[in-house]
Amino acid sequence: MISGIFDDDWVRVPDDVADGYRRAGLWDTEPLGTLTRTQAASAPESLAVVDGRHRWSYSRLSAEADSLASGLLREGLGPQDTVLVQLPNCAEFIAVLLALWRIGAVPVMGLPAHRLSELQSFADQARISAYVSSGRIDDFDQVDAADDLRRQRPDLLHIVVPGAGTSTRGDLPDDAPGQVTYEDLRAATATGSTPELPDVDPYGPALLQLSGGSTGTPKLIPRTHADYLYSVRASVPVCGITADSVYLCALPCAHNFAMSSAGILGQLVAGGTVVMAPDPSPGTAFPLIRDEKATVAGVVPPVALLWLAARAHSRSADDPLTSLRVLQVGGARFSAEAARRVPTVLGCRLQQVFGMAEGLVNYTRLDDPDDIVFTTQGRPVSPADEVRIVDDNDDDVPDGEPGHLLARGPYTIRGYFRAPEHNARSFTDDGFYRTGDIVVRSANGDITVVGRAKDQINRGGEKIASEEVENHLLAHPGILEAAVVGEPDRLLGERVVAHLILQDNDRAADFAEEKPSALTRRTREFLAARGLATYKLPDRVVVTTELPRTAVGKMSTASLRGSGPDAR
């Protein structure tokens, strides 16, 4: 069975450009697996990661990664093998990533919200050799999922991290074939011994990130050690991260924002501490911020709104947020009105973050004037980022005018993983990524997101490709046509609405009479049974005789002002 990554699965940056990045010192020769080695030597006892069950110093984290790396090698994994990781926020997540990088394997960054449909697609596209899970996430049985994945990939190794999520050791079948636990992997190695590790190409793929996408199949994003590490190193000073920083990881840890902006890896680069929050609710996050003296946190807009509401209603003398210096908000457009309330209500600075797993990340700077921080999504993190804002003919538009954002640079991909046809549409001939975002750039270079020209819904930072959900709906024998669109929502920014034309038009009238909530529930159950992630399930279903297709994909005045959810 073919496994892992081959040279023609991904698109390299042209040699002369890559040489330029190396000469300019942007691309390091150290692969990501070496992170924590320096800290483990120079400040071994400083705290690297905390979760509900662990408080690991840098030396412990590094030793943990070494033991695991030995275990993974023993299990036959090695360079260019791909491993689907689907873990909740936990300390082991970091150890697993470091171990995979140390042996040159490539994690695929699954999210806890993903279900069988997404996992199968990733397993297939990335030709995975192993799946790392916590056994169970809420009502999702990952042991069953591993069995299902094994139908496609019979040799699949299932690595379980018991206790990381909602699983307990007792849930796991003890001697399931093809299953090992985290403990099994690290047990056989004497702590402190350094395994014989393979050489790892710093310019080769380090991880496969996920794109929200706009097509039927979710796309994988090949990020290299050098480009990813550069994006993190460039982000660290812009986010004010130092060895004294304590980052509250309240986003799903595998998300590109949480990983790299400056996120978990930013802390490891700077020698700071990561505190893993099991969920981002104020009830969980606030006490953690207080107890661990977190200085920075990153959240999506709906979570920022919940935090604002929680504080506006209960201000106690014993303020749990005194240590918090910066709240990063990104993943979807954050309204200026809410942005303005962050410093006054939460007592910290706001940093807007407009990034994408494909690369380009923009930040408002910590010393920017308030107006810029509240009303823009910031500027590219690196002076080497190339950004163009163009009209429908790819001609540059003047500052202050809306246009399509194109991006190229030292950490922006040149192509998706194993997707040549899609790449022809998503990249210009000279290698710019077509972000699908419609933005306005000011004379100072600050970017404001004003709309979108891609067939995608942004539900509070979670991206949903309309076509993917539509394809699943069309698998229902009663559905003739489906259009999945976003509609404005006060908390989420947008929510998912499925407009359906039924096979039997006479039945449509009956359906329309049926209680809308019953129809929505039935549709959601149908899609959930097909293994679709919960956040993609329609919030509302409408039966109709005509579909409300907006002209997405074209930049018309209407798409700028009307159809984009972010359009004002």
Residues within the interface to ligand DBH (CB under 6 A): 256-257, 260-261, 330-331, 353, 355-357, 361
How many helices (H) does the chain have, and how many strands (E)?
Answer: 19, 27
Closest to ligand AMP by CB, 290 vs 365, is 365
Straight-line distance from the first to the last Cα atom of the chain, in angstroms, rounded to the nearest whole number: 51
Report in angstroms how near the CB of residue 495 gets to ligand DBH at its nearest. Answer: 17
**What are the CB-based long-range contacts (under 8 Å, 24+) for 559-564?**
559/438, 559/451, 559/453, 560/402, 560/438, 560/450, 560/451, 561/451, 563/451, 564/438, 564/450, 564/451, 564/452, 564/453
Report in angstroms how near the CB of residue 278 gets to ligand DBH at its nearest. Answer: 21
- Name the residue with the smallest CB distance to ligand AMP: 212
Cβ atoms within 10 Å of 238's Cβ, excluding its own:
22
Dihedral in degrees, nearest 10, Cα atoms 69, 114, 3, 74 = 20
Largest CA distance in the chain: 74
412 binds ligand AMP (CB under 6 A): no
Report in angstroms how near the CB of residue 557 gets to ligand DBH at its nearest. Answer: 26
Closest to ligand AMP by CB, 375 vs 544, is 375
Q: Report the partner that residue 449 touches, choosing among ligand AMP, ligand DBH, none (CB closer than 5 to 8 A by kind).
A: ligand AMP
377 binds ligand AMP (CB under 6 A): yes
Report in angstroms how near the CB of residue 351 gets to ligand DBH at its nearest. Answer: 11
Report in angstroms how near the CB of residue 106 gets to ligand DBH at its nearest. Answer: 18
Interface map 176-215 toward ligand AMP (x if CB under 6 A):
-----------------------------------xx---
Closest to ligand DBH by CB, 459 vs 495, is 459
Dihedral in degrees, nearest 10, Cα atoms 146, 150, 152, 153 = 110
Stretch of 18-26, 264-272, 351-359, 544-552 contacting ligand AMP, by CB under 6 A:
351-359
Q: Report the partner that residue 333 touches, choosing among ligand DBH, ligand AMP, none (CB closer than 5 to 8 A by kind).
A: ligand AMP
DSSP string for 402-469: -EEEEEESTTS-SS-TT-HHHHHHHB-TTS-EEEEEEEEE-TT--EEEEEE-SSEEEETTEEEEHHHH
Closest to ligand DBH by CB, 261 vs 466, is 261
Work out which of 92, 292, 358, 385 binds ligand AMP, going by CB under 6 A: 358
Closest to ligand DBH by CB, 202 vs 331, is 331
Report in angstroms how near the CB of residue 447 gets to ligand DBH at its nearest. Answer: 13
Stretch of 11-19, 36-44, 194-202, 350-358 contacting ligand AMP, by CB under 6 A:
350-358
Main-chain phi, psi angles of 22, to 5 degrees: -70, -45
Stretch of 30-38, 65-73, 86-94, 327-335 contacting ligand AMP, by CB under 6 A:
327-335
Q: Report the partner that residue 358 touches, choosing among ligand DBH, ligand AMP, none (CB closer than 5 to 8 A by kind).
A: ligand AMP
Report in angstroms how near the CB of residue 22 gets to ligand AMP at its nearest. Answer: 26
Alpha-carbon distances of 536 from 147, 354, 452, rounded to whole Å: 24, 22, 18
Work out which of 163, 266, 330, 431 binds ligand AMP, going by CB under 6 A: 330
Closest to ligand DBH by CB, 34 vs 261, is 261
**Residue carrying structure tokens 């980022």:** 385
Which residues, numbered 44-103, are part of the site for ligand AMP (CB under 6 A)?
Answer: none
Local structure of 257: helix, strand or coil: helix
| Structure tokens that stand for 327 in this block | 């709240």
449 binds ligand AMP (CB under 6 A): yes
Report in angstroms how near the CB of residue 30 gets to ligand DBH at its nearest. Answer: 21
Local structure of 107: helix, strand or coil: strand
Q: Tell me how many residues contact ligand AMP (CB under 6 A).
A: 21
User: Are 324 and 294 within 8 A, CB to CB?
Assistant: yes
Q: Report the partner that residue 109 touches, choosing among ligand AMP, ligand DBH, none (CB closer than 5 to 8 A by kind).
A: none
Main-chain phi, psi angles of 375, to 5 degrees: -110, -5
- List Cβ neighbours of 522 (8 Å cut-off, separation of 6 or more): none
Mark 101-126 as b/e (b = at least 16 C-beta within 10 Å): bbbbbbbbbbbbbbbbbbbbbbbebb
- List Cβ neighbours of 193 (8 Å cut-off, separation of 6 or more): 66, 70
Alpha-carbon distances of 449 from 36, 332, 370, 409, rounded to whole Å: 36, 9, 18, 20
Local structure of 40: helix, strand or coil: helix
455 binds ligand AMP (CB under 6 A): no
Closest to ligand AMP by CB, 35 vs 357, is 357
User: CA-CA distance, 222 to 358, in Å (whole number)?
Assistant: 8
Which residues, numbered 214-273, are part of the site for ligand AMP (CB under 6 A)?
Answer: 256
Closest to ligand AMP by CB, 58 vs 334, is 334
356 binds ligand AMP (CB under 6 A): yes
Report in angstroms how near the CB of residue 357 gets to ligand DBH at its nearest. Answer: 5
User: Are 297 and 324 within 8 A, CB to CB?
Assistant: yes
Q: Shortest CA distance to 230 belongs to which of 387, 102, 413, 47? A: 413
Report in angstroms how near the CB of residue 510 gets to ligand DBH at its nearest. Answer: 41
User: Are 274 and 249 within 8 A, CB to CB?
Assistant: yes
379 binds ligand AMP (CB under 6 A): no
Closest to ligand DBH by CB, 70 vs 426, is 426
User: Are 348 and 342 within 8 A, CB to CB?
Assistant: yes
Q: For binding to ligand AMP (CB under 6 A), which residues are involved?
A: 211-212, 256, 330-333, 352-358, 377, 435, 437, 449, 452, 458, 463
